[in-house]
């Protein structure tokens, strides 16, 4: 991922899913096993036993496609949002709840449709002149996503644009539609794009994706679910980086601390770093800002440092620092640090106050 000139404002709720390395991805074989769709908090095993491994793989693709869109919506920040849900009663429900877990959302099971971020979903079948088409919907609070999908050969593919309501922020969303092409197809073509549910854009230019037999990948070589969510978050950061940077001339440096990560790949903060952040934010006021300086790459491109910066911002949000008050600094040129250097890595966290 690239860094852009100037400071970049980010949202802690889009912290990367490296902490989810245990997530089940797309499994080996002609489909996926029941465990890959089973929510960790509360699942419904019986609902998954009634469908084939291939059908389970189709549901995972659909749920991944919808949830990867959800995490790019500014109102939805996985690291800071807790979603409420009922125990799933269907295979699709299992797939949705598991995907939300793997995307990093906090999950809370409730007994009714309780909570600001209550999760609801539906699946409806339509018989058309072109064959059977199924509409899958996912709603979190006021935000709703829906899209039609159809089965073609051994694969499942989108058969409509993805419709979004409840948010004005859809212009920069990029759909995770590449995962469908990995199934392969004999000249299969499907439509790709997103539009508002209530006020469709008449000038919207949808694209199409051609799928050929040579696009097919073995199940164990297809993009893992957690990687799809990582890429969706990174796309969000790329768009968020274009926003106005803070004018540091209007602030004075109040305090700073340096966090030391064990190596240049880890995102694990450790107890000492957590305590340092906790002590720093104790004096944080509403008009203050926090600047995270994590990148020490010579050419301005360092994905691992961005991941560490996001992890630090997630920690700040956990202690109540508003997401709009945390900024990630651009890369500082530090050519002395070779890419193969795996020594402990510093992240500077600076607390600024208005003049």
Q: What is the pLDDT of residues 117-154, one digit of tens each?
A: 999 999 998 887 777 889 999 999 999 999 999 998 88
CA distance 97 to 103: 10
Average pLDDT, the chain: 81
CA distance 78 to 70: 10
CA distance 283 to 261: 24
Q: Please report how the helices 225-240 and 53-70 are oriented relative to each other, as an axis angle in degrees rounded to 10.
A: 10
What residues form DSSP beta bridges with 82?
106
- CB-CB neighbours of 8 under 10 Å: 21
CA distance 104 to 229: 9
Task: Over range 261-266, report the average pLDDT.
Answer: 79
Provide the pLDDT for residue 315. 85
Buried b (16+ CB within 10 A) or exposed e, 247-277: eeeebeeebeeebebeebebbebeeebeebb
Handedness of CA 43, 49, 51, 54 (dihedral sign): positive
Provide the pLDDT for residue 334. 55
Residue that wins the pLDDT comparison between 58 and 236: 58
CA distance 192 to 180: 11
CA distance 278 to 140: 31
- Report pLDDT digits (tens) over 310-344: 788 878 877 888 877 888 887 766 555 555 556 77
Within 8 A by CB and 6+ apart from 324, the residues are 9
Q: Which domains occur in the chain, in start order?
A: 24-223 (no CATH), 248-354 (3.30.1330.60)
**HEC sequence for 269-280:** CHHHHHHHHHHH
- CB-CB neighbours of 244 under 10 Å: 8
CA distance 188 to 273: 51
CA distance 38 to 35: 5
Element (DSSP H or E) covering residue 188: strand 188-192
**Contact at 8 Å (CB) between 91 and 48?**
yes
- Report pLDDT digits (tens) over 60-114: 999 999 999 998 887 787 766 789 999 999 999 999 999 999 998 889 988 888 8
**Contact at 8 Å (CB) between 291 and 332?**
no
> Structure tokens of 322?
């508003």
CA contacts within 13 A on the Cβ side of 313: 33
Provide the pLDDT for residue 129. 74
CA distance 220 to 222: 6
> Structure tokens of 13?
């709720």
**Contact at 8 Å (CB) between 283 and 319?**
no
Considering only the C-alpha atoms of the chain, give the largest distance between any 2 of them, rounded to a whole number of Å: 67
The band of 302, judged by pLDDT with boundaries at 50, 70 and 90, is: low
- Report pLDDT digits (tens) over 206-260: 788 999 889 989 888 898 888 898 888 766 665 655 556 788 899 999 999 999 9
Identify the residue whose tokens are 């360092």.
302
């Amino acid at each position: 991922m690239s860094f852009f000139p100037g400071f970049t404002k980010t949202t802690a709720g889009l912290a990367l899913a490296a902490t989810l390395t245990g997530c089940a991805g797309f499994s080996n074989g002609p489909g996926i096993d029941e465990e890959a769709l089973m929510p960790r908090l509360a699942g419904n095993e019986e609902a998954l036993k009634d469908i084939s491994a291939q059908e389970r793989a189709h549901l995972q693709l659909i749920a991944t496609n919808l949830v990867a869109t959800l995490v790019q919506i500014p109102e939805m920040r996985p690291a800071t949002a807790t979603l409420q849900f009922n125990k799933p009663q269907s295979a699709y429900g299992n797939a949705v709840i598991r995907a939300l877990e793997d995307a990093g959302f906090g999950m809370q099971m409730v007994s009714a449709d309780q909570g600001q971020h209550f999760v609801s979903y539906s699946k409806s079948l339509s018989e058309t002149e072109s064959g059977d088409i199924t509409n899958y919907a996912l709603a979190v609070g006021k935000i709703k996503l829906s899209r039609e999908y159809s089965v073609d050969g051994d694969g499942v593919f989108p058969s409509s644009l993805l419709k979004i309501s409840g948010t004005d922020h859809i212009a920069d969303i990029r759909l995770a539609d590449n995962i469908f092409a990995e199934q392969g197809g004999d000249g299969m073509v499907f439509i790709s794009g997103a539009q508002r549910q209530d006020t469709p854009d008449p000038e919207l230019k949808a694209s199409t994706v051609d799928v050929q037999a040579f696009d097919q990948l073995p199940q164990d070589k297809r993009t893992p679910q957690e990687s799809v969510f990582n890429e969706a978050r990174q796309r969000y950061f790329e768009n968020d980086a274009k926003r106005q940077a803070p004018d540091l001339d209007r602030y004075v440096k109040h305090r700073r601390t340096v966090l030391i990560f064990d190596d240049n790949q880890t995102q694990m903060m450790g107890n000492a770093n957590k305590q340092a952040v906790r002590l720093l934010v104790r004096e944080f006021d509403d008009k203050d800002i926090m600047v995270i300086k994590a990148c020490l790459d010579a050419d301005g491109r360092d994905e691992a440092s961005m991941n560490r910066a996001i992890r630090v911002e997630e920690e700040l949000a956990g202690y109540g620092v508003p997401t709009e008050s945390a900024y990630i600094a651009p890369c500082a040129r530090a050519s002395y640090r070779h890419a193969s250097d795996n020594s402990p890595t510093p992240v500077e966290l600076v607390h600024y106050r208005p003049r």
